[in-house]
Amino acid sequence: MKLRILSAVAVTVLILAIAFSVSAPAAPNAAAKAVPAANATPTPAKATPAEPHPQIREAIASLRIAKEHMEHAAHDFGGHRVEAIKATDEALRQLEMCLKFDRD
């Protein structure tokens, strides 16, 4: 029973982290909005490489924030808070391994 609740909490945290990171709109490119001066010679815009795996990085950031909130919660919730923190640590470890695997 405890494992089932822990699994449900871990899955919920991961789904929420990914949902929040995916639903956030992308920021407009500030360089694209720049208007050149009338006398200036147009120069080709430098393309900045896209960050690899932004959704995974945003999920990691969201999980770190969620973990911080859980660590500062007022109650233990019958041990479920501690188990949720452990599950969050494992999720963070897995996501960081995903990024490391991609670099190798």
pLDDT at 102: 77
Please give the pLDDT value at position 42: 57
Candidates 28, 7, 27, 23; CA nearest to 80 is 7
Q: Give the domain ranges of the chain.
A: 2-23+52-103
pLDDT of residue 52: 82
Calculated CA dihedral for residues 92, 95, 103, 28, nearest 10 degrees = -100
pLDDT for position 74 = 87
The low-confidence residues of the chain, meaning pLDDT below 50, are 32
Q: What is the pLDDT of residue 39?
A: 58
pTM for the model stands at 0.52
The pair of structure tokens assigned to 90 is 């494992």
Nearest to 103 by CA among 53, 50, 60, 59: 53
**pLDDT tens digits for 63-75?**
999 999 999 998 8
Q: Tell me how far apart the 2 most distant CA atoms of the chain are, in Å.
A: 72
Task: Tokens for 92, please give them.
Answer: 């963070």
